[in-house]
Amino acid sequence: MMDIDRNAALSLRDLRKSFGPVDIIRGVNLDVIPGERHAIIGPNGAGKSTLFHLVSGQLQASSGKIALEGQDVTYMSPEQIYRRGLSRSFQITNVFPTLSVFENVRCAVQWSRGLRYAWWSLVDRRADITQAVEEVLHQVGLEDRRDVLAGLMTYAEQRALEIGVAIAGGGRVLLLDEPMAGMSRAESEHATELIRRVSCNRTLLMVEHDMSVVFSLADRISVLVYGEVIATGTPEAVRADVRVQEAYLGKDGH
């Protein structure tokens, strides 16, 4: 087995995950180059979300290796992985519904700014924290909604907040799990721009079904079919790949 690539932002080696007798991820090898926007596509049930759960620590791998910037994180807890610079968003909006937009982002800013579990200082008094939160709100275009409870916003706004919470901690590697799921065409164009913006100076790994988004955003694409990566390359190369056409693009009619 090849060893992990120490120069990659994210390096997966022979990663496997099974639930009982069912193998979901069957030996994934993947290297994400620092600074690139990398998309993972594949038919339903290919294991894309499971792969994200493994990388972010929500699920534990059955075997194989995951390295984040050369550091083995395979058996770390989600918060340990997060603290090493990997943050993620969720396919189903997963924010703090009865907190305001501002507070949602602030919760995500707190740890990386060193506030941790502090009980001796008032967080409202920290102008640097407030400023950092406002910068994130500006980036995701929610500065007008800062005092609205997250659970009361429109779906598209909640998706934007989801991304805001993911980037607020300053993670260098960003995982976005179907950021466009359930969006209208106009909303998803807007969100594409948002993702382009927030992925500057970051490494982006995203799962997305919307092919126009994938081909316009991604520097490279990996195709996951039945728990294996069958092709990795530039959008053009992947589009031209015969196996990909057979397994995915052709059949699904995209």
Nearer to other proteins, 172 or 190 (CB): 172
Min separation Cβ 111 and other proteins, Å: 3
- Where in 130-149 is the site for other proteins (CB under 8 A)? 130-131
Across the chain, the runs of DSSP E, i.e. the strands, are 10-19, 22-32, 37-41, 63-68, 71-72, 86-88, 173-177, 203-207, 220-225, 228-233
Nearer to other proteins, 22 or 119 (CB): 119
Instruction: Tell me the chain's radius of gyration from C-alpha atoms.
Output: 18
Instruction: Give the separation between CA 233 and CA 240, rounded to whole angstroms.
Output: 10
Which of 33, 107, 156, 211: binder of other proteins (CB under 8 A)? 107
How many residues touch other proteins (CB under 8 A)?
A: 43
Q: Stretches 1-9, 24-32, 36-44, 120-128: which one binds other proteins (CB under 8 A)?
A: 120-128
Does position 33 interact with other proteins (CB under 8 A)? The reply is no
Nearer to other proteins, 104 or 232 (CB): 104
End-to-end CA distance of the chain: 35
Instruction: Give the separation between CA 235 and CA 227, rounded to whole angstroms.
Output: 20
Q: Stretches 43-51, 90-98, 223-231, 240-248: which one binds other proteins (CB under 8 A)?
A: 90-98
Question: What totals of helices (H) and strands (E) does the chain contain, helices first?
Answer: 10, 10
Min separation Cβ 118 and other proteins, Å: 5
